[in-house]
């Protein structure tokens, strides 16, 4: 995977496939999943969603050249309830008065200790790719700012897919200044990146919350015909793979079955 500060479609294809395995991990009772050739599993982590339900939310894998921290997106109804908790709270790891989505922040903070325990096994100078789809993209965004603020991993590269807005203008300014490389891949017909709205007012409240996206938009444009079809990870993968089908086909062969769909 490339780490030169420029968007790389092969890296995006690769990380989309890795994100696909976070769903496989969650859906498998033994939490089994496939990792690309040359990588090994460092460990997995869990997080609490609405009602203190603990679920598997991703993993850290490592090769000789890089590490990948991958967050799962929305796979259950409880996650969607969390997505709707759109009031904002202070994101304490930023060490600034930055406000972020309460639901996303609560999920991330419940996993932070396990995530940092895994990260602390890595060399601080190893490139660290942080990635996630949907809710996982929001969690990856929170994790990225936390890591560059409170850990030694400075070679941080973020790729998210169909991620929602995460925080207020103060959070976005702080993120854009401190996270060195961020690519926010979104299909213009995907509704999730348009949420929460730029201005959110909770029911029966006069309080207003303001949301912006972090930097690095990579716009895609495909229409599948349904809200779900425009958002699901497999269609992001297919769209990106269409730009380099030879690479995608070869990548999916090792190991067989680790890509979201056959190319």
Judge whether 73 and 136 are in contact, CB under 8 Å.
yes
* pLDDT at residue 84, as a whole number: 64
Judge whether 69 and 121 are in contact, CB under 8 Å.
no
* pLDDT at residue 77, as a whole number: 44
- The terminus-to-terminus CA distance of the chain in angstroms comes to 19
Instruction: Report residue 173: phi and psi, to 5°.
Output: -60, -45
Q: DSSP assignment of the chain, as one string?
A: ---SSS--HHHHHHHHHHHHHHHHHHHSTT------TT-EEEEEEEEEETTTEEEEEEEEEE-SS-EEEEE----SHHHHHHHT---EEE-GGGSS--EEEHHHHHHHHHHHHHHHHHHTTS-TTS-EEEEEETHHHHHHHHHHHHHHHHSS---EEEEEESPPP-B-HHHHHHHHHH-SEEEEEEETT-SGGG-S-SEE--TT----EE-BPPS-EEEE----SSTTTTT-HHHHHHHHHTTSHHHHHHHHBTTBT-SSS--
Intervals of the chain under pLDDT 50: 77-78, 81
How does pLDDT run across 60-107, given as a tens digit for each residue?
Answer: 999 999 999 999 987 554 455 455 678 999 999 998 899 999 999 999
* pLDDT at residue 262, as a whole number: 66
How does pLDDT run across 52-72, given as a tens digit for each residue?
Answer: 889 999 999 999 999 999 999
* pLDDT at residue 78, as a whole number: 44
Judge whether 82 and 103 are in contact, CB under 8 Å.
yes
């Amino acid at each position: 995977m490339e780490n030169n500060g420029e968007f790389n479609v092969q890296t995006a294809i690769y990380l989309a496939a890795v994100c696909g395995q976070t769903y496989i991990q969650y859906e498998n009772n033994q939490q089994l999943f496939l990792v690309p050739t040359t990588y090994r599993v460092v460990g997995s982590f869990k997080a609490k969603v609405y009602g203190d339900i603990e679920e598997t939310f991703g993993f850290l894998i490592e090769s000789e050249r890089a590490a990948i921290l991958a967050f799962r997106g929305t796979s259950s109804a409880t996650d969607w309830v969390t997505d709707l908790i759109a009031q904002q709270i202070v994101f304490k790891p930023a060490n600034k008065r930055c406000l972020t989505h309460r639901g996303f922040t609560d999920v991330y903070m419940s996993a932070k200790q396990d995530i940092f325990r895994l990260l602390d096994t890595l060399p601080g100078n190893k490139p660290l790719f942080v990635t996630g789809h949907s809710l996982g993209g929001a969690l990856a965004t929170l994790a990225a700012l936390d890591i560059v603020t409170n850990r030694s991993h400075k070679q941080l590269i973020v790729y998210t897919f169909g991620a929602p807005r995460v925080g207020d203008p103060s959070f976005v300014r702080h993120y854009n200044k401190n996270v060195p490389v961020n690519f926010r891949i979104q299909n213009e017909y995907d509704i999730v990146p348009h949420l929460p709205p730029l201005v959110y007012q909770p029911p029966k409240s006069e309080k207003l919350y303001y949301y912006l996206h972090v930097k690095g938009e990579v716009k895609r444009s495909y229409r599948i015909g349904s809200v779900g079809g425009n958002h699901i990870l497999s269609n992001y993968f297919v769209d990106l793979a269409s730009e380099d089908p030879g690479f995608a086909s070869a990548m999916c062969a090792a190991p067989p079955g680790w890509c979201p769909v056959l190319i």
